[in-house]
Amino acid sequence: MTVPARVSQQNPRALTPLAESIARLQTGTEIVFGTPAGDWTICSDLLAEPTRFDLWRKDLAEWMVEQYGESDDRATAGYVMGWYLHVPGYLAGLLFHTARRVPTLRPSDMAFRLNTAGRPHPDGTAVLSDEFACLPDDPASNHPAATVVADEAALAAILRARYAAHAAQFVASFGQVVRFGRRQLWAAATDMLEYGPWAAGRQFGDENAGVTDAAMILPEKLEPFVSASTLHFTDEGWKRKRNSCCFHYVLPDAEPCTACPRTCS
């Protein structure tokens, strides 16, 4: 469905700083601001009807049968869990890393589009509100949609809190239709919160900075997350210890994922 963006009413004709930040993002998936064209799902609508996750998993199961000869309930749940949490986690990491801005991340302020040609993963993200948090030296800090915080640590904290609020709604909704416990669901939320800034650093040519951002966002084990950032440097470069499992390994002849917690020390 298509939805209108909520633009600050104090000056609705003002150029939206968050839209400018999003327009500068060049990634492998589409990220847009405002009314998306085509068939998009508002996150809050999905979370309000948990049975819609079953329909998503049914489409995924059909794809798995085509690819592997069979599907598995754990794998469909694990894939969808990671894919959904990637939507707010990656967006937050991208904007924090590239612009030092944090959108609201409310489920009602985000939408995503599923790929319809093959594997049904999210291939687009839409931001529906121009509200954002930023630093005092942000050139748009006086914009009516801006909330200014003191420093980078405070900005990381507001990102963590906003993401946690979104993830909590996902855990409550998705937990009704899968057999995963809260610890597994929050482990996945932790992984995607860490992954977002790390991936942004790699995407934009400064992996070390992405690792630093992840450590700033997850400096220690902070409830409801299950660990601090696990990123560490090895002979093969930066690696992490995942807390959750997508259960890809249970599919016939499937290789374990990189950093699979069941196979990596």
Dump pLDDT digits (tens) for 59-117: 999 999 998 888 888 999 999 999 999 999 999 999 999 999 999 999 999 999 999 99
Whether the per-residue pLDDT at 251 is higher than 70: the answer is: no
The predicted structure's pLDDT at residue 27:
82
Q: Got the DSSP string for 8-68? A: -TTSTTSPPHHHHHHHT---SSEEEESS--SS-EEHHHHHH-THHHHHHHHHHHHHHHHHH
Higher pLDDT, 110 or 236: 110
Tell me which amino acid residue 35 is: T
Helix (H, G, I), strand (E, B) or coil at 75: helix
Note the pLDDT tens digit of each residue in 121-131.
999 999 999 99
The dihedrals phi and psi of 126, each to the nearest 5 degrees, come to -120, 135
Question: How many degrees, rounded to 5, is the angle at CA 124 between CA 184 and CA 87?
Answer: 25
Query: Cβ distance 205 to 27 under 8 Å?
Result: no
Candidates 192, 213, 251; CA nearest to 71 is 251
The rounded distance, in Å, linking the Cα atoms of 126 and 29 is: 11
